Amino acid sequence: MKKVVVLTGAGISAESGIKTFRDMGGLWESYNIEDVASIDGWYRNKELVLNFYNSRRSELEFAKPNNGHLLLAELEKHCNVTIITQNVDNLHERAGSSNIIHLHGELTKVRCSITDDEVTDIGYKQIKIGDKSSKGHQLRPHIVWFGEAVPLINKAVEITQTADILIIVGTSMQVYPAASLIQYVQKNTPIYFVDPNPAIQSTDRITVIAEPASTGVKKVLQVIV
């Protein structure tokens, strides 16, 4: 079976009603990203950060996977698929995809704020100041914030290097190190880029489909399956 690596960003989940930071009407209009998505913001105001992710978790509970998520799950019937996602939601899992790398963490999980080695799935529950790990330290969202290392990036690079096909869906290609993964595919590996406002252009090896994930992914699958 062909090895297909899929890199997904906020654009695929936007069709499910999950707000992005960058789009008009997105989260940047209500929050300063440095306050809620950086390690410095956590140290400044833990309650603000916890409340922000509590709201995101509540939003996620009622969101549903869209056709883009469902089609990528369906692709597993035909190919060996690994999804590398910049998203912290669980819509790929709920769509049925089985092999997912969450580069930036997972919204439905928390971990100890000091040791980092105790990760717990809390579903859509709220976290508050005073909620502690078994080691007695404040719980924090299991999210990779600005100012923190991306622990799974090396694994993502290794998998990308083995890809027979790379599909990129709904990402601005502005967030690093995730955006650098495109550089690690073999030189003859075809790349498909799906986004209504694509950040790159078609070349002899890159096919750009300027559409939302729900329709663009379908067009890719019609070619590769």
Q: If one looks up domain 19-62+108-143 in CATH, what number appears?
A: 3.30.1600.10
In this structure, are residues 142 and 111 in contact, taking their beta carbons and an 8 Å threshold? yes
Q: Can 92 be counted among the known catalytic residues?
A: no
Residues constituting the chain: 225
In this structure, are residues 53 and 47 in contact, taking their beta carbons and an 8 Å threshold? no
* Annotated active-site residue in 92, 102, 104, 142: 104
pTM summary value: 0.93
- Cβ atoms within 10 Å of 200's Cβ, excluding its own: 13
| Helix or strand run (H / E) with residue 208 | strand 206-209
Domain pair 1-17+65-104+149-225 / 19-62+108-143, same fold: no
- What does the pLDDT profile of the chain (225 residues) look like in tens digits? 999 999 999 999 999 988 765 554 545 457 788 899 999 999 999 999 999 999 999 999 999 999 999 999 999 999 999 999 999 999 999 999 999 999 999 999 999 999 878 899 999 999 999 999 999 999 999 999 999 999 999 999 999 999 999 999 999 888 889 989 999 999 999 999 999 988 888 989 999 999 999 999 999 999 999
The DSSP secondary structure of 6-75, one letter per residue, reads EEE-HHHHHTTTPPPSSSTTSGGGTS-HHHHSBHHHHHH-HHHHHHHHHHHHHHHHT----HHHHHHHHG
pLDDT of residue 24: 44
- Measure the CA–CA gap between 191 and 173, rounded to whole angstroms: 14
Tokens of 8: 């997904």
Give domain 1-17+65-104+149-225's CATH superfamily. TPP-binding domain (3.40.50.1220)
pLDDT of residue 130: 97
Residue 191: helix, strand or coil by DSSP? strand
Domain ranges of the chain: 1-17+65-104+149-225, 19-62+108-143
